[in-house]
């Protein structure tokens, strides 16, 4: 522990300069199991996944069976990184390519839930009119949507729930939970509408990945997402929980996912390196 504390102090100096941040993260993930990150986080915040409120029993994870093997989630509706990301057109093309699980970036802007990665001026990326409401209207009856909420989680989440009270499709909406406190919020929303079983994502988690993964079973989560760069630090494989990786946009990264025996990934609909397990939907 003394050695790790000294490493953490050194790491703080490196991070402060900014020049060695990427190198430090790689070394910490691949060789130290993110222990340096964990010490720094405990010094600076109260993030503790062992204190998160467990999910209500009997969560609906039917969507895990709809994603195929390996499970594929259409990143930014299937065209992440392109001008068509987060558009209704991307949704249609990804569905035709066999996807049934779609991830969308969502921001609350000018009183509207818009499909876009960041707040800001309207651009060609959102000119097709993708909002949460139009997306729900366009969603095929055998598809699910994973929400990547980019602005205030509590406010956006409640807006989503309020909309879903008026529709019969709440079970096809999959929330991602980013922080320990999000579980209590989600439990409250699930008392209002019958939402699908959520994903615990380590996208914003700063504790070591094994600490987060080690709490999934206690929390009742059956889907756990982590960034590709954090995969080397994952040593605690949660039982009965699908491990998903993002973002995977090329075949070389798919091979890493396969070698790690992950269950699936957030990817783009144009990739052809993975056998299509969705042909029965076509």
Query: What are the pLDDT digits (tens) for 133-181?
Result: 999 999 999 999 999 999 999 999 999 999 999 899 999 999 999 999 9
Instruction: Supply the pLDDT for residue 9.
Output: 54
Instruction: Supply the pLDDT for residue 277.
Output: 47
How sure is the predictor about 105, in pLDDT bands with cuts at 50, 70 and 90?
A: very high
Position with higher pLDDT, 17 vs 244: 244
**Topology at the third CATH level for domain 53-281:** TIM Barrel (3.20.20)
205-215 as b/e: b if 16+ CB within 10 A = bbbbbbbbbbb
Instruction: Supply the pLDDT for residue 125.
Output: 54
Closest residue by Cα to residue 118 from 81, 141, 149: 149
The β-bridge relationship of strands 101-109 and 144-149 is parallel
Closest residue by Cα to residue 219 from 10, 9, 53: 53
Q: Please, which residues have CB within 8 angstroms of residue 182's CB and are 6 or more apart in sequence?
A: 153
Q: Give dist(CA 271, CA 276) in Å, integer.
A: 10
- A 10 A CB-CB count for 198 gives 26
Residue 109 in 3-state DSSP? Answer: strand
Q: Which residue has the tokens 């504390």?
A: 5
Q: What is the mean pLDDT of the chain?
A: 90
Cβ atoms of residues 49 and 75 within 8 Å: no
Query: What are the pLDDT digits (tens) for 249-259?
Result: 999 999 999 99
Full-model pTM: 0.90
Query: What are the pLDDT digits (tens) for 58-72?
Result: 999 999 999 999 999
Closest residue by Cα to residue 229 from 30, 49, 8: 30
Cβ atoms of residues 248 and 263 within 8 Å: no
Query: What are the pLDDT digits (tens) for 182-235?
Result: 999 999 999 999 999 999 999 999 999 999 999 999 999 999 999 999 999 999
* Residue extents of the structural domains in the chain: 1-44, 53-281
Q: Where are the beta strands (DSSP E) in the chain?
A: 71-74, 101-109, 112-115, 144-149, 173-177, 199-201, 223-227, 242-248, 264-267
Closest residue by Cα to residue 70 from 207, 210, 265, 250: 265
Instruction: Supply the pLDDT for residue 13.
Output: 57
Kindly report the length of the chain.
Answer: 282
């Amino acid at each position: 522990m003394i050695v790790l504390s000294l490493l953490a102090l050194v790491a703080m100096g490196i991070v402060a300069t900014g020049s060695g941040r990427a190198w430090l993260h790689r070394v910490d993930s691949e060789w130290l199991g993110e222990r340096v990150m964990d010490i720094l986080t405990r010094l600076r915040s109260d993030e503790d996944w062992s204190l998160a409120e467990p999910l209500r029993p009997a969560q609906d994870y039917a969507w895990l069976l709809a994603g195929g093997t390996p499970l594929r989630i259409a990143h930014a509706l299937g065209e992440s990184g392109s001008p068509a990301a987060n558009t209704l057109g991307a949704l249609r093309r990804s569905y035709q390519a066999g996807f049934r699980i779609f991830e969308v970036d969502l921001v609350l802007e000018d009183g509207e839930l818009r499909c876009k990665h960041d707040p800001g001026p309207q651009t060609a990326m959102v000119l097709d009119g993708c909002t949460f409401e139009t997306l729900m209207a366009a969603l095929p009856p055998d598809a699910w949507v994973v929400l990547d909420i980019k602005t205030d989680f509590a406010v956006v989440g409640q807006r989503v729930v309020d909309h879903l009270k008026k529709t019969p499709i709440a079970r096809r909406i999959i929330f991602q939970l980013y922080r320990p406190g999000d579980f209590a919020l989600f439990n409250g929303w699930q008392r209002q509408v019958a939402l699908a079983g959520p994903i615990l994502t380590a996208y914003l988690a700063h504790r070591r990945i094994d600490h987060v993964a080690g709490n999934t079973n206690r929390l009742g989560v059956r889907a756990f997402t982590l960034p590709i760069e954090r995969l080397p630090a994952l040593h605690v494989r949660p039982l009965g929980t699908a491990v998903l990786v993002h973002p995977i946009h090329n075949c070389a990264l798919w091979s890493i996912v396969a070698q790690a025996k992950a269950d699936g990934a957030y990817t783009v609909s144009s990739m052809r390196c993975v056998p299509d397990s969705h042909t029965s939907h076509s």
